[in-house]
Amino acid sequence: MGLPAVLALAAALSDAEAREQLQRAISHQRERRWEEAATDYRELLRERPDVVAARVYLAETLWRSGNVADARAELSAATSASPKPLLPLLLLARMDGSESQELAHRLPDTSVRAKLLENALLEGEAFVPLERPAIVLASMGDIDRALEDYLAAAEIDPWNVDLHRHLGAAFFKASRNVEAAGAFGKAVTLEPKDAGSWGQLGSSCLRLQWWDKAIEAFEKARALSGDQPGGLLALGYAYERKPDFERALSFYKRAGELSPAWAQPPYRMGRTLMKLDRREEAERELKRALEIDSNLAEARCFLGALYLENRDLVSATRELELSVSLSPRYAKAHFYLGQAYLRAGRREDATAELARYEQITRETGDIDPN
């Protein structure tokens, strides 16, 4: 078949129609309605031969229903069209009872191959999504290889919302935040009513300091799922950094009302009130946070910073030393403790604390002492 004919076939179904037909086929496969699933996949492939995911899932369906020869032929066609995803190679290995040279080359560690074959292809399962090998790799801590497989799977299964969610989470874990935002953005485009993906998109935007985009995403999540303490706290933080301190305070307050045993809302309120120079209110909120969780190093740190502003060096030093002992890697505590020591004339101690602050900020990228 020539290229113009293929393009004409590909145009027969729109993306929306093809996605709907693919989902119908997958539903039939999950229900073990093998003949209906196979018919759906074949009809889709006749009109959209570019939907390689349908060929992989057709092969799964044929294999599960006992038609191994046709399943093998479909997988060979899928790997010829898109050689990068791991699932077709794993399915072929399970069907043939032996691992191909390509699979061994891609995954040279035999224990990794064995774990993938065991955990990606669960015995008796009707449907294995293309992202399953990447999920297993991510669970093993192999984020780089998981991302490689997620991306390969996304190329041939672009309408798979779960795949984009998992891809976004892996990018987020790897601190590849622009790509995480892109993956979660794709997920909410495909499923606009998915509150979880909107929230994850907001968290990615927070890391990128895209405050307005974060606010938009968190507000979408809130509209879909109602007021949730964690979402309200994140929304408050986005407004705090925008900055719109009064809006931030309103969201922190609401989060605290919904979750009164959680120390984070009053802690965040205390920090924000400090920025507004409302010191008495800030002290009250920080102390309230510590009544809930006396080991919250961040609240100790900013209570100490508040005492430092009020020139109470004894109280400031006490709280800041305790914050450092509770969380030695919390850079801001070292910064403010260094300032307290400096004001107290303890220059050697101050130099040591500020050096520790600089070391931690270099290692973590946290350069904001406020």
Q: pLDDT tens for residues 238-264?
A: 999 999 999 999 999 999 999 999 999
pLDDT at residue 97 in the model: 82
| Residue 328 forms part of a structural domain | yes
Q: Which of 132, 169, 172 is nearest to 152 (CA)?
A: 132
pLDDT at residue 44 in the model: 96
Res. 268: pLDDT tops 50: yes
- What is the mean pLDDT of the segment spanning 109-121? 91
CA atoms within 13 A on the CB side of 276: 19
| Residue 38 forms part of a structural domain | yes
Number of Cβ within 10 Å of residue 97's Cβ equals 6
Percent with pLDDT over 90 in the chain? 89
- What is the mean pLDDT of the segment spanning 37-44? 97
CA atoms within 13 A on the CB side of 298: 13
pLDDT at residue 3 in the model: 44
| Interval 59-112: pLDDT, tens | 999 999 999 999 999 999 999 999 999 999 999 998 888 788 888 888 899 999
Lowest mean pLDDT among 10-14, 192-196, 343-347: 10-14
Query: What type of residue sits at position 21?
Result: Q
Query: What is the residue-averaged pLDDT of the chain?
Result: 93
- What is the mean pLDDT of the segment spanning 321-343? 97
Res. 368: pLDDT tops 60: no
Res. 369: pLDDT tops 50: no
| Residue 170 forms part of a structural domain | no
- What is the mean pLDDT of the segment spanning 140-151? 95
Res. 10: pLDDT tops 70: no
pLDDT at residue 6 in the model: 44
| Residue 289 forms part of a structural domain | no
Domain endpoint, select from 127, 144, 159: 159
| Residue 153 forms part of a structural domain | yes
Q: Which of 143, 128, 115 is nearest to 60 (CA)?
A: 128
CATH of the domain at 43: 1.25.40.10
Q: Using 50, 70 and 90 to split pLDDT, how confident is the model at 24?
A: very high
pLDDT at residue 7 in the model: 46
Which residues constitute the domain of residue 147?
1-159
pLDDT at residue 12 in the model: 67
**Residue 89, Cα to own-chain centre: how many angstroms?**
27
| Residue 152 forms part of a structural domain | yes
Domain endpoint, select from 159, 181, 205: 159
On whether the CB atoms of residues 26 and 127 are closer than 8 A, the answer is yes
- What is the mean pLDDT of the segment spanning 203-221? 97
- What is the mean pLDDT of the segment spanning 133-147? 95
| Residue 176 forms part of a structural domain | no
Quick one: residue 365, left, alpha or beta (phi over 0 = left, psi -120 to 50 = alpha)?
left
pLDDT at residue 96 in the model: 84
| Residue 229 forms part of a structural domain | no
In the chain, the number of structural domains is 2
Domain endpoint, select from 159, 183, 215: 159
- What is the mean pLDDT of the segment spanning 175-196? 97
